């Protein structure tokens, strides 16, 4: 792996979002890149450091409109735009051969009909769906290196798939029994910066609640696709699974408690994960029986994984912890960019 000699240039669409701010925070440590443009429709003309004073002295550049961005030059473009909008704004870049990393869900599904079902609108570029690579670097590194379009994984899927894909691919999940249950708890930054009552401080603070329970969360479609592919490797069906997200009164982090109907015992399961991730810097499998906490991973690109057993039962409990803004979004996006552009994968992703 060689590092480019001259800095590459990057553009960011939808920079006034929390994921945009996090991208800039991390990119400020990256010696190999230069920011070519940041765009935001609602804040066009406003310096990004006025929107996020934390970025003063780091990115004082004014936001341009997404339309103006279209004509701009860059080696790589990140989109922090919402799903249903993102693909349309990325198309002109893709057509010009500029490599893109989409933090929205627009390129995460491969089936246009399923996209329409979940997102309530037709996909603007269905012909591109099959070329997009799912950006879970530890699993698809080689394809990402050469990809024109990387679909950056959703935050919940990242926390769920990292521990489950190795098990599924090795036949460790008993798909005849079921269901496999993921009870996930996410900090409020996952709900974005748009104002709504559920993100109002007094409503969220000192409270907790489940939402979109019973497979009603859009990330279910993405989980199903990836988990299904992994099961197919093992020649098994996809397990029935249940995903219940909860709002947790913290700024950052997703803790996923996963109940796996396993074909193997918990220690074998733990060993499988240790083996699968032994060479992966950003995945830390804990000693058997030790479970991670959010404080271990916030403001980092790590995914920490713990495994424990339930005496006399064949369910294995796995807990994963990530920072939803870093590993679940912008950190992972930079990890993807490093992989695409030939930088060492961990560049700018230290603690």
Show contacts with a copy of itself in window 35-64 (CB under 8 A). Answer: 53-54, 56-58
Nearer to a copy of itself, 106 or 304 (CB): 304
Nearer to a copy of itself, 94 or 187 (CB): 187
**Site for a copy of itself contains 135 (CB under 8 A):** no
Neighbours of 71 (CB within 10 A): 10
Q: Is 155 a catalytic residue?
A: yes
CB of 66 to a copy of itself, least distance (A): 21
Q: Which of 59, 76, 80, 155 is catalytic?
A: 155
**Site for a copy of itself contains 351 (CB under 8 A):** yes
Q: Please give the backbone phi and psi of residue 47, each rounded to the nearest 5 degrees, phi first.
A: -60, 140
**Site for a copy of itself contains 176 (CB under 8 A):** no
Q: Please give the backbone phi and psi of residue 181, each rounded to the nearest 5 degrees, phi first.
A: -115, 130
Show contacts with a copy of itself in window 180-239 (CB under 8 A). Answer: 181, 183, 185, 188-189, 193, 195-197, 199-211, 213-215
H helices present in 210-350, as ranges: 219-234, 266-277, 331-341
Contacts of 257 (CB under 8 A, 6+ apart): 182, 183, 184, 185, 317, 318, 319
CB of 191 to a copy of itself, least distance (A): 8
Given 47, 124, 228, 249, the residue binding a copy of itself (CB under 8 A) = 249
Closest CA to 226 of 69, 88, 105, 80: 105
**Site for a copy of itself contains 172 (CB under 8 A):** no
Look at residue 336 and give its three-state secondary structure.
helix
d(CA 165, CA 184): 17
d(CA 287, CA 64): 48
**Site for a copy of itself contains 255 (CB under 8 A):** yes
Instruction: State how far Cα 139 lies from the chain centre.
Output: 13
Show contacts with a copy of itself in window 268-327 (CB under 8 A). Answer: 281, 284, 286, 291-300, 302, 304, 308-311, 313, 315, 317, 319
Give 102's strand partners.
Answer: 79, 151
CB of 195 to a copy of itself, least distance (A): 4
Nearer to a copy of itself, 87 or 255 (CB): 255
The helix (run of H) or strand (run of E) holding residue 68 is helix 66-70
* Count of chain residues binding a copy of itself (CB under 8 A): 75
Which residues are marked as active site? 155
């Amino acid at each position: 792996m060689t590092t480019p000699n001259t800095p590459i240039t990057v553009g960011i669409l939808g920079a006034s979002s929390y994921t945009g701010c996090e991208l800039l925070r991390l990119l400020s440590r990256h010696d190999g890149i230069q920011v070519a443009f940041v765009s935001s429709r609602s804040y066009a003309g406003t310096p990004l450091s006025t929107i996020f004073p934390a970025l003063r002295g780091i990115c004082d550049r004014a936001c341009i409109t997404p339309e103006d961005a279209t004509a701009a030059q860059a080696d790589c473009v990140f989109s922090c735009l919402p799903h249903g909008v993102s693909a349309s704004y990325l198309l002109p870049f893709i057509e010009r051969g500029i490599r893109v990393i989409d933090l929205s869900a627009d390129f995460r599904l491969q089936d246009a009909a399923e996209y329409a079902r979940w997102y309530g609108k037709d996909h603007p570029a269905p012909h591109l769906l099959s070329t997009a690579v799912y950006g879970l670097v530890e699993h698809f590194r080689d394809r990402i290196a050469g990809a024109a379009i990387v679909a950056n994984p959703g935050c919940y899927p990242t926390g769920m798939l990292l521990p489950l894909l190795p098990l599924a691919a090795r036949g460790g999940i008993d798909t005849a029994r079921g269901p496999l249950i993921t009870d996930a708890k996410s900090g409020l930054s996952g709900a974005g910066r748009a104002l709504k009552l559920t993100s109002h401080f007094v409503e969220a603070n000192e409270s907790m609640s489940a939402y979109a329970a019973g497979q009603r969360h859009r990330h279910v479609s993405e989980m199903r696709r990836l988990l299904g592919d992994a099961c197919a490797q093992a020649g098994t069906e996809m397990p029935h699974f249940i995903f219940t997200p909860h709002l947790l009164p913290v700024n950052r982090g997703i803790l996923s408690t996963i109940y796996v109907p396993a074909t193997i015992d918990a220690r074998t399961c733990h060993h499988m994960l240790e083996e699968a991730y032994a060479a992966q810097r950003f995945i830390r499998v804990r000693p058997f029986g030790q479970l991670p906490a959010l404080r271990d991973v916030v403001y980092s690109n790590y995914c920490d994984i713990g495994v424990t057993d339930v005496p006399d039962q064949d369910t294995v409990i796995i807990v994963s912890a990530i920072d939803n803004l870093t590993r679940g979004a912008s950190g992972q996006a930079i990890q993807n960019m490093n992989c695409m552009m030939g930088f060492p994968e961990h560049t700018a992703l230290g603690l």
